[in-house]
């Protein structure tokens, strides 16, 4: 009996590619494009082949799917505009473009920011004047009427929500943003579609091919087995992760809302179809795609079905496809999971950018406790990532705040993680005495008390309460908290991302409570409409909004002037004071920045030995107030309530 010969992926991929190229049609490519496409295909196909073999090794028709996939890649490359192919070359020559000190991001909903895409076009001067180089538009695709999870239920990836404009309007906007030096970020909602997507409609009509695009079951036997180990994401919507479809007497997997059907990536046809949609979005002219809910895309029985090895393999395979067709486009990970899992998505071959949910949670924790032990302990071994990748650091976003710190880090400090999360939820939702915060709870689980927090930056930092009490002293403290939080995301390393309205210190917006489609979703409280009165208030001297806006702009200007805020290393430092947080940035050109933050409402001292990090400097500049500081090791550094120092040494 002959032994079974083990597959050699390298030689098999070469043979497979030869067969594929002999079977597909590349006549739509020009001579130059043909050369470029084949060069990239030969470079990336071996990796793509091996990844898809890991995922679909049991599929006898894998060669067919690979052949169809390469044809899809070629067709999309042929359709890619010349200006985008030019940007591909530029970004391949400068792959660390996202690490520049010039980078400043903003996320917004088109309708809340400007009404529609044409209105957003008119906002470009505002964006450039603020210093933006990165604009993330919340989902703007066609979605169900009424509740659409803020646009994250996609009915058609190729059609813009008619209320916002057309696909042509989006292309025009993308070109205008590019001309203004602003990178466009779009959402890639690839874990699920809306239940009125064409694929879902066909599945509902009984088409077996499209029923296999989703995870559908005839009874509760298999869903019950999965539910036994799954975490409930939206427990107030439905218990468990499956929804019943009475019209066809089937159960469908719905991790989030009932109208968001999870895609079946166990079917290679789904991967091919979603690659096609992804490349359509890339060819609209975006520079980055935010991978929504990427942790959930692969399901394994007996696990929590999050962060599975094949999920990583699929994301790397998607990345390979981008490298072949649209290498200017980078992925941004949206993994709001345990920090050990977040970092696994960050790599040049997977996601070059990643949200930093741990930093956001730890910043709000530090404000609530007025202690920095947990942020120092956690980031001292969790902030460093692949040097070719970047964090996207944010204080607030369109979503809720989840307390994603590691229980082990907390336990090291004698903190019970479960109890501490309960405290933070109470502190930020008006259930803790003497809290300055005004916020709302989101998706509270009645069984374990788990909850997330919603609210605008200004309201959670105390400005809403201070204004309601008409207290100048409390207003001053709230302003300092807001600027403190922003100082960290602007200086710690990565792309700082503002959420639209936070630069104007806008408060919670409760208008959602009168909309029956939004009433159940408290996240709308931190999604205000950016109107003229809000803009006027931020430009009116004497208002707290003006003070925040001016203070933020000064820090942005300082960031953009110095390379140490860009591609530089970050070292978290121990300050010797539990109320103060510090880190050192060091750039290759010799520049150094020592950032020190007081997270308490009282004056604090730290040992001047921390200044040794700036030697041989004799005098440094505090970039926050542009005042010199003479290096004096004989007396402690004194920081006022919520004060920030950016001590800069040019090298």
Per the DSSP assignment, residues forming a β-bridge with 580 are: 598
User: CA-to-CA distance for 608 and 158, rounded, in angstroms?
Assistant: 58
Q: Domain of residue 521: give its range.
A: 360-561
- Helix, coil or strand: residue 95: coil
Which has more confidence, 377 or 651? 377
282 belongs to a structural domain: no
- Total number of domains in the chain: 2
- pLDDT score for 445: 73
Asked whether residue 408 is domain-assigned, the answer is yes
Owner of token pair 């906002």:
123
pLDDT band at residue 118 using 50, 70 and 90 as cut-offs? very high
Residue 162 lies in a domain: no
Which long-range contacts link 115-122 to residues 24+ away (Cβ below 8 Å)?
A: 116/163, 116/164, 116/165, 116/169, 117/160, 117/164, 117/165, 117/166, 117/169, 117/170, 117/172, 117/173, 118/165, 118/169, 120/173, 121/172, 121/173, 121/176
DSSP single-letter state for residue 104: -
Q: How far apart are CA 219 and CA 511, in angstroms?
A: 41
In a domain, 119, yes or no: no
The full length of the chain comes to: 651
Please tell me which residue in 50, 111, 195, 334 is annotated as part of the active site: 334
Rounded CA separation 110/118 (Å): 10
**Residue 239 — very low, low, confident or very high, per pLDDT cuts 50/70/90?**
confident
How far are the Cα atoms of 361, 585, 604 from residue 636, in angstroms, in the given order?
Answer: 30, 21, 10
Per-residue CA distances from 52 to 55, 101, 267, 333 (Å): 5, 37, 11, 20
Angle (CA) 431-432-437 rounded to 5° is 85
Largest CA distance in the chain: 89
* pLDDT tens figures, 533-591: 999 999 999 999 999 999 999 999 999 999 999 999 999 999 999 999 999 999 999 99
The answer to whether residue 51 sits within a structural domain is: no
User: So what's the pLDDT on residue 149?
Assistant: 87
Q: Which tens digits make up the pLDDT trace of 429-442?
A: 988 999 999 999 98
**Proportion of the chain in helix, strand, coil states, percent, rounded to 5:** 45, 15, 40
* Position 447 pLDDT exceeds 80: no
Distance of CA 300 to the CA centre of its chain: 25
Per-residue confidence at 2, pLDDT binned at 50, 70, 90?
A: low
Are residues 368 and 505 both part of a single domain?
yes
Are 354 and 382 a contacting pair, CB within 8 Å? no
Count CB-CB contacts under 10 A for residue 621: 17
- Over the stretch 65-112, which tens digit does the pLDDT of each residue have? 999 999 999 999 999 999 999 999 999 999 999 999 999 999 999 999
Indicate whether 6 pLDDT > 90: no
CATH number of the structural domain spanning residue 459 = 3.20.20.80
605 and 522 fall within a common domain:
no
Catalytic residue among 12, 175, 292, 384: 292
pLDDT number for residue 302? 96
Q: Are residues 422 and 410 in the same domain?
A: yes
Going by C-alpha positions, the residue among 121, 185, 152 that lies closest to residue 351 is: 185
Q: Residue 41 pLDDT > 80, yes or no? A: yes
**Interatomic CA distance for residues 475 and 510, integer angstroms:** 21
Task: Decide: helix, strand or coil at residue 137.
Answer: strand
Indicate if 475 and 600 belong to the same structural domain: no
CB 192 within 8 A of CB 178: no
Domain boundary among 561, 581, 597: 561
DSSP 36-59: HHHHHHHHHHHHHHHHHHHHSTT-
The pLDDT of residue 450 is 77
CATH number of residue 629's parent domain:
2.60.40.1180
Given this model, what pLDDT does residue 192 score?
97
Q: Under a CB-based contact definition with an 8 Å cutoff, are residues 313 and 55 in contact?
A: yes
Tell me, yes or no, whether 488 and 627 share the same domain: no
Q: Is residue 170 part of a domain?
A: no
Mean pLDDT of all residues in 590-614: 96
> Tokens 């494009």, residue?
33
As a whole number of angstroms, the distance between CA 388 and CA 346 comes to 9
Q: What's the rounded Cα separation, in Å, for the pair 20 and 617?
A: 62
Is the per-residue pLDDT at 7 higher than 70? Answer: no
The pLDDT assigned to 4 comes to: 53
According to DSSP, the β-strands at 452-454 and 440-442 are antiparallel
Quick one: pLDDT at residue 236?
Answer: 65
- Shared domain for 537 and 612, answered yes or no, is no
Residue 334: active-site member: yes
Q: What is the pLDDT of residues 144-169, one digit of tens each?
A: 998 888 889 999 999 999 999 999 99
Residues 461, 592: one domain? no
Nearest to 167 by CA among 177, 156, 152: 156
Instruction: Please calculate the CA angle 103-386-96 and round it to the nearest 5 degrees.
Output: 35
Q: Are 453 and 485 part of one and the same domain?
A: yes
Q: Decide: helix, strand or coil at residue 275.
A: helix
Which pLDDT belongs to residue 3? 56
Local structure of 568: helix, strand or coil: strand
Q: Where are the beta strands (DSSP E) in 357-469?
A: 390-394, 440-442, 452-454
Q: Are 396 and 435 contained in the same domain?
A: yes
Active site residue 212: no
For the residues 597-617, what does the mean pLDDT come to?
95
Q: Is the residue at 67 inside a domain? A: no
Average pLDDT, the chain: 95
At which of 561, 596, 621 does a domain end?
Answer: 561
Mark whether 518 and 585 lie in a shared domain: no
Query: Residues 544, 627: one domain?
Result: no
Q: What is the pLDDT of residue 11?
A: 84
**Residue 135 covered by a domain:** no
Q: E strands within 425-574? A: 440-442, 452-454, 495-499, 568-573
**298-323: pLDDT as tens digits:** 999 999 999 999 999 999 999 999 99
**Are 531 and 596 contained in the same domain?**
no
pTM for the structure as a whole: 0.95
Whether the CB-CB separation of 635 and 609 falls below 8 Å is answered with no
Mean pLDDT value across residues 11-26: 93
What does the radius of gyration of the chain's CA atoms come to, in whole angstroms? 25
Nearest by Cα to 450 from 420, 488, 478, 474? 420
Which of 530, 561, 592 is at the close of a domain? 561
Neighbours of 185 (CB within 10 A): 26
């Amino acid at each position: 009996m002959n032994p079974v010969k083990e597959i050699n992926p390298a030689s098999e991929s070469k043979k497979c590619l030869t067969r594929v190229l002999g079977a597909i049609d590349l006549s739509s490519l020009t001579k130059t494009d043909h050369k470029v496409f084949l060069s990239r295909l030969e470079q990336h196909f071996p990796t793509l082949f091996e990844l898809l073999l890991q995922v679909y090794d049991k599929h006898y028709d894998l060669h067919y799917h690979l052949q169809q996939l390469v044809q899809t890649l070629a067709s999309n490359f042929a359709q890619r505009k010349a200006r985008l192919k030019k940007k591909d070359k530029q970004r391949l020559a400068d792959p660390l473009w996202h690490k520049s000190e010039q980078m400043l991001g903003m996320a917004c909903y088109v309708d809340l920011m400007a009404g529609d895409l044409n209105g957003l076009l008119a906002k470009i001067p505002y964006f450039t004047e603020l210093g933006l180089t990165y604009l993330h538009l919340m989902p703007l695709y066609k979605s169900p009427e009424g509740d659409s999870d803020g646009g994250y239920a996609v009915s058609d990836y190729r059609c813009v929500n008619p209320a916002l404009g057309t696909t042509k309007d989006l292309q025009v906007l993308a070109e205008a943003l590019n001309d203004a030096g602003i990178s466009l970020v779009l959402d890639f909602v690839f874990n699920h579609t809306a239940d009125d997507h064409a694929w879902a409609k066909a599945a509902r009509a009984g088409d077996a091919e499209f029923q296999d695009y989703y995870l559908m079951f005839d009874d509760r036997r298999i869903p019950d087995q999965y539910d036994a180990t799954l975490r409930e994401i939206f427990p107030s919507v439905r218990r468990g992760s499956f929804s019943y479809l009475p019209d066809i007497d089937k159960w469908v997997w719905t991790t989030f809302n009932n109208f968001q059907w999870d895609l079946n990536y166990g079917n290679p046809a789904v991967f091919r179809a979603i690659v096609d949609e992804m490349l359509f979005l890339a060819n609209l002219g975006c520079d980055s795609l935010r991978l929504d809910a990427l942790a959930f895309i692969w399901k394994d029985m007996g696990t929590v079905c999050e962060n599975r090895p094949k999920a990583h393999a699929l994301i790397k395979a998607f990345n390979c496809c981008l490298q072949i067709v649209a290498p200017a486009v980078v992925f941004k990970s949206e993994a709001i999971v345990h920090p050990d899992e977040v970092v696994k998505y960050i790599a040049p071959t997977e996601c070059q950018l990643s949200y930093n949910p741990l930093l956001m949670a730890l910043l709000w924790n530090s404000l609530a406790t007025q202690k920095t032990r947990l942020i120092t302990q956690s980031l001292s071994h969790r902030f460093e990532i692949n040097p070719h990748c970047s964090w996207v650091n944010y204080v607030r976003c369109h979503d809720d705040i989840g307390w994603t710190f590691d229980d082990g880090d907390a336990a090291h400090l004698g903190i019970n993680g479960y109890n501490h999360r309960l405290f933070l939820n109470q502190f930020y939702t008006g259930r803790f005495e003497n809290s300055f915060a005004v916020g709302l709870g989101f998706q509270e689980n009645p069984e374990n008390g788990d909850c997330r927090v919603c609210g605008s930056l200004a309201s959670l930092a105390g400005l809403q309460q201070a204004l309601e009490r008409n207290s100048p002293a409390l207003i001053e403290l709230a302003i300092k908290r807001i600027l403190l939080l922003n100082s960290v995301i602007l200086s710690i390393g990565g792309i700082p991302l503002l959420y639209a309205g936070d630069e104007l210190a806008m408060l919670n917006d409760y208008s959602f409570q009168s909309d029956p489609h939004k009433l159940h979703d408290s996240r709308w409280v931190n999604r205000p409409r950016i109107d003229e009165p809000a803009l006027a208030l931020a430009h009116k001297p004497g208002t707290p909004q003006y003070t925040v806006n001016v203070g933020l702009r000064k820090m942005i200007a300082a960031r953009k002037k110095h390379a140490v805020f860009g591609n530089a290393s970050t070292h978290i430092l121990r300050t010797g004071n539990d109320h103060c947080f510090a880190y050192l940035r060091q750039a290759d050109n010799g520049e150094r920045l020592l950032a020190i933050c007081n997270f308490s409402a009282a004056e604090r001292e730290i040992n001047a030995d921390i200044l040794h990090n700036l030697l041989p400097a004799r005098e440094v500049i505090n970039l926050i107030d542009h005042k010199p500081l003479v290096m004096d090791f004989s007396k402690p550094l004194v920081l006022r309530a919520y004060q920030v120092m950016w001590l800069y040494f040019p090298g």
